[in-house]
Amino acid sequence: MSDDFEVTHGHYEERHAGLAWRIVDAWRDMSGSTHRLIREDPPEGRLLFYVLMADIVVFLSWALKTVVVPHPDAPIPLQVSLVLVLALMLRTTAMYVFAGVAGFIVGLFGGTGSYRDVRAGVFWGALVAAPFSLLAALISVSLAATGSGGEQFILPLYWISMIPFVWYISAGLAEARNVRVAPVFLGLTLATCGALFLALYASAVGWISLPTGMH
């Protein structure tokens, strides 16, 4: 990483302040990007902005995969707006709860860092990973538009997009708690797989209706 990419008076230098630049930098070095973010001591409003932006991107990817791919020529139903509101409310709340629980568990194994640092790492990781979900949705839509059967690729692409989601959140959480990334990534991977299989089972037996691509 270039030496001139550093924090100045609690903020990035102006030429590196763009959100797109920060995300690209995080793709290359999530730990370093999270470290710089924590050094900036961002206000809670900025952290909330990150998680809300991630919510919107994930919602958009879900809408593409579940509405546009099956019915490319049909208008988007009004119920989608309700799903957006629920996504912004429920997913944001879930991210706060997840940050608290995950940070607490990692702290039991010797991790340091505050809950605010954990929120910064987790919320930033969620935003950094969100474009991969959108990319998977766009690929599905493109395949459907060319008549290549985009629906059959939704689930495989969803699983693939889960990998960066878990990785970047793990890296952000590990940096916030000052621990190694590998054990956190392994733990979150196992927890994610367990939760997904449980959700698939609950959907199969009719306990819940499982939407595709909402992560």
**Residue 75: pLDDT band with limits 50, 70, 90:** low
**Global confidence as pTM:** 0.82
Measured CA to CA, the distance from residue 117 to residue 107 in angstroms comes to 12
pLDDT in tens, 27-64: 999 999 999 999 999 999 999 999 999 999 988 888 77
Instruction: Produce one character per residue of 48-87: b if its CB has 16 or more CB atoms within 10 Å, e if not.
Output: eebbbebbebbbbbbbbbbbbbeeeeeeeeeeeeebbeeb
16 or 127: which leads in pLDDT: 127
**Residue 83: pLDDT band with limits 50, 70, 90:** confident
pLDDT in tens, 174-207: 999 999 999 999 999 999 899 888 987 887 888 7
In this prediction, residues 89-93 reach a mean pLDDT of 91
103-107, 129-133, 192-196, 205-209, range with the lowest pLDDT: 205-209
6-10, 44-48, 129-133, range with the lowest pLDDT: 6-10
The confidence score (pLDDT) of residue 177 equals 95
The confidence score (pLDDT) of residue 139 equals 85
Residue with tokens 């973010």: 37
The confidence score (pLDDT) of residue 129 equals 96
Q: Write down the domain spans for the chain.
A: 42-204
Q: Name 112's Cβ contacts closer than 8 Å, sequence gap at least 6.
A: 177, 178
The confidence score (pLDDT) of residue 200 equals 79
The confidence score (pLDDT) of residue 202 equals 85
